[in-house]
Chain A
Amino acid sequence: MELKKLTKIELMKLAVEKAIPNRSKLLKDELIKALQPYFGGKDTTASTDDNSLSATSKSKKTAVAPSSNIGYENKKPVTIFQIKKDEYPIPEYYNMDTLVILPVDPSKEYVYWELSDNTIYKVRQQYKLENAPIILKLYKQADDLSTDEISSVQVSRFGNWFFDIYAPSIVLWAELGFIDANGVFYSILKSNSIRMPADKVSPIIDDETWMTIGHNIDKLYGLSGLHKKDLGASQTMHKTILRQLTTVNAVSSSSFMKDK
């Protein structure tokens, strides 16, 4: 059995079985693509459709090779048409345009994304961008509310990325788009905006605080634990304790839960 050789009705049956979202809207090629994670096999659509973006981005990827954690590309199963043993298979992606940014800490941001086949097709038609790479950009809102691009990376059509941008208290968002031969960026998706967490005491002091606490504020914050290396690290502390309680490391896995 080869997915490519099945009829659309047969594919749809499999799609129902595997709970592929939006399957009723998918074309045959899209169904095959969505089912591949469950049945393994090579990207058969790429060979039938050389202009499709998945093929393009793969060939381009080696040229730029920006990083090691660029999504799931390496995780695609190689064995052909072997049903996964997992009792609860889940899709790798949903074939829906998605771009989400989440803060991790004041100097780390997480982004994941996905471009649907439909969108890729439309964009290629509209902009006539054959072979154009997909680019993920990170923007910040500058003090004067203007927009600054702060990072840019070439990616594949779905995946995730951790940026290591130090941006405490700053508003950030991501955009995903194509870049043409002249380097012009065509933005397709814009993410949600986030304000990054702060990592230091605010410069803003209200008058009342100043009147009552005054210069003692430094002392007060010191007594609150400010500048302690392990401030905001209950988990680290608990781990230390666990090490003390631990003598036989080998058995720790069968005990339960918390070592926050």
Chain B
Amino acid sequence: MNGYWMLVLHAHLPFVKHPDYDFFLEEQWLFEAITETYIPILMNMKKLENEGVYFRLTSSVTPPLAEMLSDPSLQKKYLTYLDRSIELADKELIRTKDDTTYQPVAMMYRERLEIIRSYYLKDLNSSVLNGYRYFQDKGNLEIITCGSTHGYLPLMNNYKAVRAQIELAAQTHEKHFGKRPEGIWLPECAYHSGLEDVLNDSGIKYFFIDTHGVLFSSPRPKYGSYAPVYTSAGVAAFARDYYSSKQVWSSKEGYPGDVYYRDFYRDIGYDLDYEYIKPYISPDGVRVFTGLKYHRITGEMDFKEVYQPEIAYQKTVSHAVHFVAEREKQVQEIAEIIDRSPLIVSPYDAELYGHWWFEGPDFLLNVFREMNKSDTVKPITPIEYLNEFPTNQIVDLNPSSWGDEGYYKVWLNTGNEWIYRHLHFMANSMVKIAEEYKDGTDSLKTRFLNQMARELMLCQASDWAFLVTTGTANEYSTARTKEHINNFLRLYTMVSDNHLDSKYLEKLENKNSIFQNINYKLFT
């Protein structure tokens, strides 16, 4: 054995809940991710377990994602979503019954959805979190947390606001996974000096940082990005490996762009006759993704060949063989230079596996199968690694993130800078008013203060600034930001004026219902 591979998946979605609507476009983000990413990955872990394959992975389940996955009304809506998908898949079998080209793909989706439904109801007992907890107990999976609402920590400008994000995350993690987290995926992998002290205060032992966060640290890191370092607070930092990221995502060597893999954008929600597809798209008649996609990437031209699942699956095998062989080469090369077993850390957004790259979960399945045969590289979790190598170099890390160009500009630019003035005002006001009521107050006012804390945190989610920059859900993100600012200011006014409108409070408590047990004193 020469070295280790650490797979880290970051599973996150912002808190989106619209109880007033039966169908809400942005709620589909969660449902698509459950069907396409979370369940397929869990089912493949089950396969590995049954086959006796040695596998280890680390995954965040961020607090907003965990809260949504355990929300009864969203669970109910998910089942409705799944049943509608199955109903559509049934109709597709009839529509394509004389079509030998497309019938096999339609059949693949019909069977797949049925398996997912049965796994969700029987194995998971209607809660995806049960699957995560199962593999945590088995020791295959290390679950880590994130900021309580994925707030962008380096831009908060308020120590207590940062501390509240971390401490509430740890508490919420304990509620869902039975113990406080030992590790954290920093929101957007964004680090700033001093953060390690906050992490340490909440009992967190390690986090992840982008490659240049370690390469540009001071003094120079002894092992480059191939071993963790300690911060002055004693919290360990693991650096992202450049080459294994590139292998999966680069245009030249990247796997998901293979012409035999499924094309993401050709979806029957857009392709089929309007009257036929109408019951399965947005009720207002806007075409949306149904998840049924019948074509492969084919090439750069508009013409797309039909998708052939067996060929695509074989591709995941050959790509997995290639990936493991490359890691072996990498380990051998590094092992000649340094005096300990090299560690390769590969973090990815979980949703890229399955949602974007349909075959991604099968690729991971086959990577673990291949690695099981390797004498050179072995999967490992952060805590396992730190137990084996408790002595590490102490450095000052460099502020960085995993966004475009490696610093903060994706979340702070001319398009979204306006958000921060409000976030700072809200956080400062929250700290002030929490201090004022630090000895407690009556139960109604306590609820107001707690809801203020929820609105602030929901507003802090880095997703909104991110989506404004990418332009993918600009309108929704802007509206959500303004909604939480407005809610917060109204609650703040009501508390300051001692003019408490409990109907208004109840409405917000029901809609923005994240963190049932939140305590505003987090901000003192």
Contacts and interface: CB of A to CB of B under 8 A. Distances in A.
Interface stretch (B177-185, B318-326, B486-494, B506-514): B486-494
The listed residue with most A CB atoms (<10 A of its CB), out of B29, B240, B245, B404, is B404
B403 A248 contact: no
A202 to B, nearest CB: 4
Interface in A101-130: 102-106, 108, 110, 112, 114
A192 interface: yes
Given A238-B249, A241-B249, A88 B479 contact: yes
Contacts of B414: 69, 162
Nearest to A240: B251
Contact of A225 (B26, B193, B225, B270): B225
Contact of A94 (B215, B425, B472): B425
Contact of A233 (B287, B351, B406, B487): B406
Given A102-B420, A257-B472, A202 B246 contact: no
B500 interface: no
B439 interface: no
B223 A231 contact: no
B270 A248 contact: yes
Interface string A86-106: 111111011010101011111
A201 B220 CA distance: 7
A254 B25 contact: yes
Contacts of B224: 220-221, 223-224, 226
Contacts of B108: none
Interface stretch (B91-99, B113-121, B195-203, B257-265): B257-265
Contacts of B29: 256-257
A225 B404 CA distance: 16
Contacts of B28: 256
A160 B126 CA distance: 48
Contacts of A255: 264-265, 289, 472
Interface in B145-172: 154-155, 157
A259 B406 contact: no
B400 interface: yes
A212 B339 contact: yes
A217 B338 CA distance: 9
Given A162-B414, A204-B220, A241-B254, A231 B408 contact: no
Given A198-B398, A200-B216, A245-B256, A258 B356 contact: yes
Nearest to B194: A195
B113 to A, nearest CB: 19
Interface string A14-29: 0010010100000000
A232 B288 contact: no
A244 interface: yes
A96 B428 CA distance: 12
B48 interface: no
Nearest to A242: B356
A209 interface: yes
Given A204-B219, A245-B257, A256 B242 contact: no
B333 interface: yes
A243 B249 CA distance: 11
A69 B413 CA distance: 11
The listed residue with most A CB atoms (<10 A of its CB), out of B263, B418, B489, B497, is B489
Nearest to B485: A90
Nearest to A161: B417
Contacts of A205: 219-220
The listed residue with most A CB atoms (<10 A of its CB), out of B297, B405, B420, is B405
A101 to B, nearest CB: 9
B157 A192 contact: yes
Contact of A104 (B26, B412, B422): B412
The listed residue with most B CB atoms (<10 A of its CB), out of A88, A89, A110, A208, is A88
B83 interface: no
B402 A260 contact: yes
A234 interface: yes
Given A90-B482, A197-B407, A231-B406, A202 B425 contact: no
Contacts of A225: 211, 215, 225, 241-243
B399 A197 contact: yes
Contacts of B412: 102, 104, 110
A5 interface: no
B457 interface: no
Interface string B125-158: 0000000000000000000000000000011010
A213 B340 CA distance: 11
A35 to B, nearest CB: 14
Contacts of B251: 240-241, 243-244
A98 B400 CA distance: 26
B417 A245 contact: no
B257 A241 contact: yes
B408 A105 contact: yes
B214 to A, nearest CB: 8
B184 to A, nearest CB: 18
Nearest to B211: A225
Contacts of B497: 16
A244 B482 contact: no
A252 interface: yes
Contacts of B352: 238, 258
A44 interface: no
A242 B224 CA distance: 30
A182 interface: no
Contacts of B265: 245-248, 251-252, 255
A254 B422 contact: no
B216 A199 contact: yes
A259 B219 contact: no
B393 interface: yes
A47 interface: no
Given A201-B215, A204-B218, A256 B32 contact: yes
A252 B470 CA distance: 11
Nearest to B212: A232
A206 interface: yes
Contact of B405 (A110, A196, A198, A233): A233
A253 interface: yes
A14 B472 CA distance: 36
A119 to B, nearest CB: 16
A105 to B, nearest CB: 4
A51 interface: no
B25 A105 contact: no
- For the complex of A and B, the 5 pairs showing the least CB-CB separation, nearest first, are A232-B406, A225-B242, A244-B257, A105-B407, A224-B224
10 contacts: A19-B492, A105-B407, A110-B417, A201-B215, A234-B245, A237-B249, A245-B256, A247-B263, A254-B25, A255-B264
Given A219-B337, A228-B242, 15 more contacts: A89-B486, A90-B489, A105-B407, A198-B216, A204-B218, A208-B222, A209-B220, A221-B224, A223-B226, A224-B215, A231-B406, A232-B400, A234-B403, A247-B297, A254-B25
